[in-house]
């Protein structure tokens, strides 16, 4: 009977330790993301980072460059920071470009639950190929990836025939520049909202 009680105490103690550790890690992840939002970059800084990120993407992917030359608009997020332990979040600022000129600033944020631990950063760019999709995005009050127009996610290093690609979809995304300890990057569920900077 005493052995059973000791086992029960052991399980309860470890359960509470796991819950406490999980909550502490969640708090740390959210605090880190909150600090990133509180220290949001200024408009000119975002403009500079967006241009540098787009230049990096074009240098690594002729397909992205070809799509960029034809795109109605390009939404670029130069640095998204993702952190988490079981529950995670990601956040970052970017800008919408039309004919190479910035027209608005946006924030991309997402929460996720699952097997994850660590911190990473990455960049992504979304190419709108048709005016209708571009206008729908601009008129939306918060755009969520995975809801609305179908977005084809491409590997920035893969060679693609641009003529074949443009017959498949009207919106393309490239994820690139991944650094950090977390495996995999997903855009599904990312909420994009217009912001003032």
Per-residue pLDDT of 41-56, as tens digits, reads 788 899 999 999 999 9
Per the CB < 8 A criterion, the answer to whether 158 and 176 are in contact is no
| Whether pLDDT at 72 is above 80 | yes
Q: Is 152 helix (H, G, I), strand (E, B) or coil?
A: strand
Per the CB < 8 A criterion, the answer to whether 68 and 58 are in contact is yes
> For residue 77, what are the domain limits?
2-195
| Whether pLDDT at 140 is above 90 | no
Q: Rounded distance, CA 14 to CA 35, Å?
A: 31
Looking at per-residue pLDDT, the higher value among 160 and 118 belongs to 118
Residue 109: closest CA among 125, 122, 90, 83: 90
Q: Is 182 helix (H, G, I), strand (E, B) or coil?
A: coil
Q: For the chain, what is the domain count?
A: 1
| Whether pLDDT at 95 is above 60 | yes
| Whether pLDDT at 138 is above 80 | yes
- pLDDT of 38 reads 45
pLDDT band of residue 58 (cuts 50, 70, 90) is: very high
pLDDT band of residue 143 (cuts 50, 70, 90) is: confident
Count CA atoms closer than 13 A to 136's CA, side-chain side. 14
pLDDT band of residue 21 (cuts 50, 70, 90) is: low
| Reported pTM | 0.72
């Amino acid at each position: 009977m005493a052995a059973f009680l000791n086992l029960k105490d052991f399980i309860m103690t470890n359960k509470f330790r796991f819950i406490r550790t999980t909550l502490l890690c969640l708090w740390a992840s959210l605090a880190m993301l909150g600090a990133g939002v509180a220290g949001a970059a200024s408009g000119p800084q975002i403009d500079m980072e967006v241009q540098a990120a787009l230049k990096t993407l074009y240098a690594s992917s002729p397909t992205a460059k070809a799509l960029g030359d034809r795109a109605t608009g390009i939404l670029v997020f130069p640095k998204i920071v993702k952190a988490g332990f079981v529950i995670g979040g990601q956040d970052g600022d970017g800008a919408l470009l039309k004919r190479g000129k910035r027209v608005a600033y946006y924030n991309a944020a997402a929460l996720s639950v699952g097997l994850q631990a660590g911190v990473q950063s990455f960049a992504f760019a979304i190419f709108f190929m048709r005016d209708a999709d571009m206008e729908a995005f601009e008129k939306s009050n918060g755009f969520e990836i995975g809801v609305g127009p179908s977005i084809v996610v491409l590997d920035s290093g893969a060679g693609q025939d641009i003529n074949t690609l443009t017959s498949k979809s009207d919106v393309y995304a490239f994820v690139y520049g991944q650094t950090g300890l977390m495996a995999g990057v997903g855009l599904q569920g990312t909420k994009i909202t217009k912001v003032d900077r």
